[in-house]
């Protein structure tokens, strides 16, 4: 029994009930005069439950005592995927429950000050997580790739405690109703397979890495605190408009002071109250990388709370980076700050040697340096939300983001029922709640290559997209399609058509001569049918670094280069009209499940998994810098004519 489908209710019954994750805002934990944070990264104790039903940990209540007392443990680095760290073949492909544990020493003021609120935040646990503190069940969360948190103040302030023990059980089983979906296939032929043998089947092309992938931390706030901030920006001629709403928890008797500071720390606007409008004369707009001489300008919105409680006056301070910019879509253009924007960038994965999908600062900075070198101005978070720190760097560097949910591989008819839809709606709420204030995020993608021709797909995506637009009416919504334009039942509801195609690779393999005609025909059909801008959201070819052949043959660097060139010729015919972007698949090679079609993973990267360039990287660099120079010339022409939205000139 691998996971949730057949035994999950019994597991929760063993726990004696189930608390929900903390509701409300998901502000990124930032230190301030009123807030502290403590990283819990490092080595945790770890054990996989290899029992046949995967439930021994619950039956023996491993969470009640230190994990070492119930059996042997491994050292497991956090953040990381558990799969590639060790030498155990069983662990690499393990499906079921794994257990993490960490003992933490707490500052005295955290445990003795009743005016201090202590929160445990988990950046990502793939896929289903249950959390205990000192043996007490505190929360659970369904879904990888997004953070969740829980107030543990009462548990750590109940007596003279100096430490707390955090236990997290994680199950990576995927079902038809998870995101992404999957199925468990039991192999019952005992002449071929051991008793109870099963495999996890998926319909996506990347490895199902699991574990604590992102930072785990504790942070504090006062008991009356700023819970959430929502910022919406606009531009009126040269004046920047910052509309804000602040939610406060813990008291109804409070005052709020809000000020907006520029990058030099000078106050440019002030207001009071939980909602208001800040006006910034001669505002510096947030522009994408290479679209302006001063891209990615960020103001700081500082909110100061003062509240009266029974214990006296309480204060809280939170500072939120703010980029002033607008986003709009016409039938043929994608506009940022009223100016046409052309996406020239990449698709990525959170994937690297040893660490799997584990967050890693050196790797992240290397990736951004490569993006800047390429002249890329955008990427899509294929096929799940990336770490919050990634979004922050996009804000700081001006890299535009299509923010995608984990809705990849939705191809089963049962994945379109009400249970799946409800979970998908909740995931989009979590994603929008987390990323709504990032200026770099310009569009939400609710899914990648769903089976949108199935009968229930139209209603499913109509509901899902409408819900996402209601959550955030300031950004367009898309999903990424690989369907025939005549059969796609969800396309009428999106704002931008994102199309994946692999001509001369999966279709007509080896025939480079057909690419231009087929790409042009497909793009024209999509635009003529739906009258919406189109992005070539994926295209590419597997390439093994160091393989060469002339004339070009598949898997060689020459073939990848030639295929991209043919796509570019087709895209150049349409990008002046209604094609508003091109995103290569993929930025770097990445790991997949083992299949005869994959040699140590997917090799469509323009960089190797170790971030070394193939020939295609240089081709793409030349193209992207050329496109950037054209865009800058267009922006200059618009501003000379008085049509631009920026008060600055190039």
Q: Residue 249 sits in a domain of what CATH number? A: 2.60.40.10
Q: For residue 212, give its domain range.
A: 36-172+208-221
Cβ–Cβ < 8 Å for 395, 438 = yes
How far CA 203 is from CA of 15, 252, 290, 449, 459, in Å, comes to: 33, 49, 37, 10, 22
* Residue that finishes a domain, picked among 322, 352, 372: 322
- Asked whether the beta carbons of 288 and 323 are under 8 A apart, the reply is no
Residue 237 sits in the same domain as residue 306: yes
Using CA atoms in the order 270, 273, 275, 276, what is the torsion angle rounded to 10 degrees? -40
Q: Are residues 302 and 403 in the same domain?
A: no
449 and 590 inside one domain: yes
- Specify if 23 maps to a domain: no
Active-site residues: which are they?
449
- Residues 318 and 333 grouped into a single domain: no
Q: Which residue has the tokens 């865009």?
A: 631
| Domain-located, residue 73 | yes
Whether residue 62 sits in one domain with residue 131: yes
Phi, psi at 441, each rounded to 5°: -80, 115
Within this chain, do residues 340 and 300 fall inside the same structural domain, yes or no? no
User: Omega before 136 cis (within 30°)?
Assistant: no
Does the residue 185 lie in any domain?
no
189 occurs within a structural domain:
no
CA atoms within 13 A on the CB side of 599: 7
Q: What is the pLDDT of residue 627?
A: 95
Residues in CB range of 627: below 8 A, 6 or more apart? 342, 344, 375
Q: What is the dihedral of CA 6, 12, 14, 19, to 10 degrees?
A: 180
Task: Give the per-residue pLDDT at 636.
Answer: 56
Last residue of a domain, one of 275, 307, 322: 322
Same domain, 44 and 137: yes
Residues 213 and 255 in one domain: no
- 159 and 76, same structural domain? yes
* Residues 412 and 439 both lie in one domain: yes
- Evaluate whether residue 645 is within a structural domain: no
Q: What per-residue confidence (pLDDT) applies to 312?
A: 81
Task: Give the model's pLDDT for residue 597.
Answer: 87
Residue 28 lies in a domain: no
pLDDT for position 247: 96
3-state secondary structure of 510: coil
- Domain boundary (265, 297, 322) is at 322
Q: What is the domain-level CATH number for residue 52?
A: 2.60.120.260
Q: Is residue 3 part of a domain?
A: no
**How many folded domains does the chain comprise?**
3
What is the predicted pLDDT for the residue at 633? Answer: 62
SS3 call for 573: helix
| Residue 277: inside a domain | yes
How confident is the model at residue 643, as a pLDDT?
A: 45
Domain harbouring 535, CATH code: 3.20.20.80
pLDDT at 14: 45
361 with 392, same domain: the answer is yes
pTM: 0.93
3 state SS of 75: strand
Which parts of the chain sit beneath pLDDT 70? 1-24, 160-161, 633-650
CA-CA-CA-CA torsion sign (406, 458, 474, 317): negative
Average per-residue pLDDT in the chain? 92
**What count of other Cβ atoms lies within 10 Å of the Cβ of residue 228?**
17
How many whole angstroms separate alpha carbon 167 and alpha carbon 103?
9
- Kindly state whether residues 213 and 228 are assigned to the same domain: no
């Amino acid at each position: 029994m691998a996971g949730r489908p057949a035994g999950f209710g019994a597991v929760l019954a063993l726990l004696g009930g189930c608390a929900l994750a903390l509701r409300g805002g998901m502000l990124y934990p930032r230190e301030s005069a009123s807030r502290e944070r403590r990283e819990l990264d490092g080595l945790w104790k770890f054990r996989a439950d290899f029992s046949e039903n995967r439930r021994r940990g619950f039956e023996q209540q491993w969470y009640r005592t230190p994990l070492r007392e119930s059996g042997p443990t491994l050292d497991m680095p956090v953040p990381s995927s558990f799969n590639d760290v060790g030498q155990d073949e069983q662990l690499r492909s393990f499906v079921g429950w794994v257990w993490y544990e960490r003992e933490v020493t707490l500052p005295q003021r955290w445990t003795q000050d009743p005016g201090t609120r202590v929160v445990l935040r988990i950046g990502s646990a793939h896929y289903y997580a249950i959390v205990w503190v000192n043996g007490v069940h505190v929360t659970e969360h369904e879904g990888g790739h997004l953070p969740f948190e829980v107030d543990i103040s009462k548990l750590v302030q109940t007596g003279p405690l100096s430490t707390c023990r955090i236990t997290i059980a994680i199950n990576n089983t995927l079902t038809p109703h998870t995101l992404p979906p999957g199925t468990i296939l039991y192999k019952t032929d005992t002449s071929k397979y051991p008793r109870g043998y099963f495999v996890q089947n998926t319909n996506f092309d990347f490895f199902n890495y699991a574990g604590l992938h992102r930072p785990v931390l504790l942070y504090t706030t006062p008991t009356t605190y700023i819970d959430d901030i929502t910022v919406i920006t606009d531009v009126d001629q040269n004046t920047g408009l910052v509309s804000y709403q602040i939610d406060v928890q813990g008291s109804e008797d409070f005052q709020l002071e809000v000020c907006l500071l520029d990058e030099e720390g000078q106050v440019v606007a002030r207001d009071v109250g939980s909602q208001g409008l800040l006006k910034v004369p001669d505002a510096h707009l947030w522009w994408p990388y290479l679209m302006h001489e001063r891209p990615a300008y960020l103001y700081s919105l500082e909110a100061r709370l003062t509240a009266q409680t029974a214990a006296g006056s309480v204060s809280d301070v939170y500072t939120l980076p703010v980029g002033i910019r607008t986003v709009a879509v016409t039938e043929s253009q994608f506009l940022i700050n009223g100016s046409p924007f052309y996406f020239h960038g990449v698709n990525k994965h959170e994937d690297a040697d040893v660490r799997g999908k584990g967050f890693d600062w050196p790797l992240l900075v290397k990736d951004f340096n490569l993006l800047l070198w390429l002249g890329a101005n955008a990427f899509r978070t294929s096929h799940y939300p990336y770490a919050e720190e990634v979004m922050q760097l996009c804000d700081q560097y001006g890299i535009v983001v299509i923010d995608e949910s984990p809705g990849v591989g939705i191809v089963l008819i049962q994945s379109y029922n009400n249970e799946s839809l409800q979970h998908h709606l909740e995931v989009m709420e979590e994603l929008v709640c987390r990323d709504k204030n990032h200026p770099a995020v310009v569009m939400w993608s609710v899914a990648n290559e769903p089976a949108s021709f199935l009968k229930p797909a139209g209603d499913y995506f109509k509901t899902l997209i409408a819900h996402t637009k209601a959550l955030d009416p300031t950004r367009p919504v898309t999903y990424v399609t690989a369907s025939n334009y005549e059969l796609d039942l969800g396309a009428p509801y999106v704002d931008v058509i994102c199309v994946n195609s692999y001509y001369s690779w999966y279709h007509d393999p080896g025939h480079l001569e057909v690419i231009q005609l087929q790409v042009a025909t497909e793009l024209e059909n999509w635009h003529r049918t739906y009258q919406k801008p189109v992005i070539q959201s994926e295209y590419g070819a597997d390439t093994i670094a160091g393989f060469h052949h002339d004339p070009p043959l598949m898997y060689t660097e020459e073939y990848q280069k030639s295929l991209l060139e043919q796509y570019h010729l087709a895209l150049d015919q349409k990008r002046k009209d209604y094609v508003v972007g091109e995103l290569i698949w993929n930025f770097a090679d990445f790991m997949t499940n083992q299949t005869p079609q994959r040699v140590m993973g997917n090799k469509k990267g323009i960089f190797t998994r170790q971030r070394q360039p193939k020939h295609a990287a240089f081709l793409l660099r030349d193209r992207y810098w050329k496109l950037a120079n054209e865009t800058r010339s267009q922006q200059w022409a618009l501003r000379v004519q008085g049509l631009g939205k920026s008060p600055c000139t190039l």
